[in-house]
Every structure is written in C-alpha cells, then in structure tokens.
Structure 1
Amino acid sequence: MSTLLSPTERTRVRRIRERARSDRADLYAVLDEGVVCHLGVVVDGTPRVIPTAYGRSGDTLYLHGSTGAASLRSGAAQEVCVTVTHLDGIVVARSLFHHSLNYRSAVVYGTPRALTDPADKLTALQAITEHLVPGQWDALRPPSPKELAATALLALPLDEASVKIRQGPPTDEEEDYALPVWAGVLPVRQAFGAPEPDPRLRPGVPVPPHLTR
C-alpha cells in the first residue's frame, strides 16, 4: 500500500510544483533505478559532493565507502543531503528559454547513523550489492573481518525526502508553435553491455545467469 511523503520546509517543491510527486512509491522507484547517488556533506567547513554507492532496504538508504573517506566519517556526525537523478531526455524547444530536460530526481535530508556492528554491516552490504548486481550476494565470498573493518557504512532514514519528475515534449509560447523550427525530445537511455571477463578468470567459469539478465 502506497503512503505519502511528509513535506517539510526543505523538501516542499516551490518552483514548477506540478513536477513534484508526493507518493512514497515514486521515491522508491527513483532510488531503486539509480546506481550512484551524490552525498553532500560539510568537511572541515567546506562543502563536498561525493559520488557514492548505495542501496535501499525499506525506508533506509545505505551509503558505502572506505573508512578513510572523510565524507563518510563526517556524514555520521551531521545532517547530509543525498541526491539521485536520472536523465531521460533533452527537451529541444522552439526557443532557447523553453529548452529543458526530462528527468526523475530525489533529494533526501537527514542525519545518518554509522554502522559498527558486523551484522548490521552485512545487512547494509547485502542491500547495496543486490541493488547494484541483483543475485550477486549469494555468489560471493563473504567479507572477512578485516574487510568489514575497512568498510564504512552509513544508514540514512528516508524520513525527509522530495521527488521531482519532468516528462513529455517542450512547452513553448503559443505563438512559437507556428515557427518552422524542429522541436521534440532527444531520449537518453542507459544500457548494460555484454559481460567482459577478468583476464585472470579461471578457464571454464561461465557467466552466471543473474549477470546475463
């Protein structure tokens, strides 16, 4: 059953409000279709925006990095902003002013919690792995205690978030529709290619079905 997002002063969409989405299912869809998020955090008084691997489980977003990453160390002690954006098309209009982008975006605010318990870390790593490569978790060697200790993981609740989506053709001035200028959308799509084996892969090891899918 879908539930609604609870808007706050930070998440309330004020410009082009018709692009806002209030259903939590739209938030899940944007997050689940993404691969990389951007983590915004202040480190030593300076703002940083870091591309970060992530995964979602329920209403928790897990962020992954190295224990040496200052962005993750700082993020556990302060509010952060996480964004995920999909570019679906370039909107070509009859006037410069009305050129635009078709996109789906989500913005999440909150104070993440650093995961230190090994069991919690494994839960987060499974969510991130299955998000990036569904089916891969059961095929992997489990992380060693040393590897877990070297991995930083943050858990960010999805309590404060906004979603904005723009789809469709350009919206030109009414008088411009008569101009002999091409207008429309240039679709943008991301697709996986064929798996490329590691040069040191043992002979006879096939590509698993979950990767060919």
Structure 2
Amino acid sequence: MKEKTKKPFYKRWWFIAICAFLAFGVIGTIFESEESKQERAAEEVAAEQKRIDDRNAKKEAKKLAAEEEKRKEAAEKEEYEKLPFYERLKKENEYIDDATFSDGKLTISKEIKTYFSDTHTMKDDVYEIFEVMEKGFKDESVNEVEAILSTTLHNEQGKEYVDDIVKYRYSRDNFKELDISNFKFYSYSETWRIMNQADHYWIRPGIYNNIDPEYRSKLRNSATK
C-alpha cells in the first residue's frame, strides 16, 4: 500500500484561508485609511471655511456698526444744530450752568459750589465767565450779555440759601470797543479791568468788604457801577 503524499503547508486549506483573511484585512485597512484621510481633509476644509465665514461675518458686523455709528452721529449733529444758540453755548461750556436769551439779552450764570474765598471769586470766576461772554457775542442776535455768579450763603439763623454775589453786564457796542486779545491777556491777572469796563456791575456788599484791599482799590465804582 502506497503512502499518501502530504501536500505542502502552503497548499493546505487552512493556510490559504489564513492568507485570504490577512489579504482582506490589509485591503480593508488600506480602504479605511484612505476614507479616513478623505474625512479628515473634508473636516479641515469645512473648518477653514468656517473660519473664513466667521472672519467675514465679523468684518461685516464691524462695518455695519461703523455705519450705524455714523448715522447716529449725523442725526445727533442735525438735532444739535437745531438747538437755539444759547442752548448750544450751555452745552459747549462746562463753566456755566445756564444760559437764557430774551429780547436781545443773553444771560449766563454759574453757581459756585466750591468756594475758596471772595478774592478768588473776583480773580478766577469773573474771568472764566467772561470767556463764555465773549463766545455769546459771536451770535449777531445778541445785543448785551449779563454774567451772574451765585453761591451758597447763610442767613442769620444759619440756614443755607443760594443767591447772587456778582453780576456784570456788557453791551455789544461796549464789548466791540475792546481789543479783546490784549484785554484778556491783561485781565487774566487783573480781573478788576473786566468790572471797570463793564456797562454795569454789582458785587454783594458782604463779598465786596472781604475782597483783598489792593484788588478793591482798583475798582473805580466800589461795589456798584
């Protein structure tokens, strides 16, 4: 009886099955790897597009905000220009609290809330409101300007009340006679000049009596002109 010849192992079914299994596994891995690459590439493209879209959206939002701000500023400017000149004067000058106009007379006023001394008021506050007066005369409808300074006082019972302490008034004709640049230069340190050149001034007696004697001596008409 002849002995059966054994097949080489690489011809046996189990070896062929193992090779086929490995071959399918390798092919599957190759296809899966390629598919993953395509998915990652698609994700990266989508992410980049999203960044571009976000950047463009921000630019557009910024542009729209800038346009809206310009429209708002234009509307505010239009409304502001509709205001009477004395209202604009009040808004543009922090020093004054109020400005009114009637029959050619502009009245500007300031309540002094931080009061240092009577002399300080005559030297500093008188000059500061004079600068606003100059701006008031730039409107051709103004024939005269009265400046009023007030502050908190105390009566005999010790109660507080706000009342006027200094007033002065210039007519347009009188103001036009001033060499305003030189006048302001000298009046900055010698504000008694402002009072003396006014058509009219009034200083509350209690304030007048407490002013520095040298300053008081420069006033030509004592407490009232």
TM class by smaller structure = under 0.3
| Structure showing greater relative contact order (alpha-carbon pairs closer than 8 Å, 6 or more residues apart) | 1
Q: Computing the radius of gyration over CA atoms, which structure comes out larger, 1 or 2?
A: 2
Higher helix share: 2
Task: Output the TM-score relative to the length of structure 2.
Answer: 0.27
